[in-house]
Amino acid sequence: MIGMFKEKRIKKSLSDTVFGRNIVYMHVCDSTNELAKREVEMPHGTVFIADAQTNGKGRLGRTWESQKKSGIYMSVLIKDDIPLRDIAQLTLVAGVAVCRALGYDTRIKWPNDVVIGTRKVCGILTERTGDAIICGIGINVNTKEFPPHLKDIATSLLIESGEKHDRDYICALVLNEFEILYEQFKNGGFAEIYGQYFDLCVTLGHDVVAYRDGEEICGFACGISPEGGLIIDTEEGEVTVSSGEVSVRGMYGYI
């Protein structure tokens, strides 16, 4: 059924997991990440989900287009002892989880864009508030059309497959995969996920430019560091950039 999110339907497809055991659903909210921040007293694993966002947020002050009932806008509240420096890695873990859940030959444009071909189908924004971490995931599911400024860079499962998808079911699949990978990450660190991330990352092997505090770092994306940073081979040697501080573009296109 395509319509509003149904908590029961999401729960039906969930494994016996913590992520999503408690679901806070709203028709509309400003941003599920902001909602999670306001409701930070909720238990670990609570998932905040909305049919539409009026102020969907991307990284570095950007916006996330959040059309009504066409996408998944959800945030997972994580209350564990994750060191501050590992938050960026959690975004990478979530990216791998989304790829595993969606299939469709999804790949990752470093650090956090899940793409099909050269277009973005999902974005992830991880934030910290006090001791809690909020991992926000936006997935374009049944979006028919994007506004002009996104036409060339965004896609949806509907556009790619010609079919509408059940958002509740996809939500549950993503949460199941995320929790499995999260447990591995928590116990063994990013090393547990590194291989999968590396294999999924389409940025590698491309000429890229990273923008860091007004500075441009141009070079060949040649590797992922053990911490999840992107290693760029520049004229001055190798530079590793971390996801919290840069945005990256392909020199000859989006990837």
Nearer to ligand BT5, 58 or 189 (CB): 58
Alpha-carbon gap, residue 188 to 191, rounded angstroms: 7
- Which of 45, 138, 219, 229: binder of ligand BT5 (CB under 6 A)? 138
Which residues from 2-31 bind ligand BT5, rule CB under 6 A? Answer: 31
CB 52 within 8 A of CB 73: yes
Q: H helices of 39-110, where?
A: 87-102
CA distance 155 to 119: 6
User: What would the x/- binding string for ligand BT5 be over residues 26 to 65, using CB under 6 A?
Assistant: -----xxx-------------------x--xxxxx-x-xx
- The verdict on whether omega for the bond into residue 226 sits within 30 degrees of 0, i.e. cis, is no
Report residue 151 as tokens.
């036409």
Contacts with ligand BT5: how many residues (CB under 6 A)? Answer: 28
CB of 163 to ligand BT5, least distance (A): 19
DSSP string covering 15-43, please?
A: -S-STTTSEEEEEEES-HHHHHHHTTTSP
Q: Which is nearer to ligand BT5, 74 or 99 (CB)?
A: 74
Q: Which is nearer to ligand BT5, 32 or 196 (CB)?
A: 32
**Sheet of 247-250, strands arranged across:** 237-241, 230-234, 215-224, 207-212, 247-250
Q: Does 140 bind ligand BT5 (CB under 6 A)?
A: yes
Q: Which of 76, 125, 157, 246 binds ligand BT5 (CB under 6 A)?
A: 125
Q: Which of residues 199-218 bind ligand BT5 (CB under 6 A)?
A: none
Residue nearest to ligand BT5 (CB): 123
Q: Any residues with CB less than 8 A from the CB of 184 and at least 6 apart, and which? A: 192, 193
Instruction: By CB under 6 A, name the binding residues for ligand BT5.
Output: 31-33, 53, 56-60, 62, 64-65, 73-75, 112-113, 120, 123-125, 136-138, 140, 150, 153-154
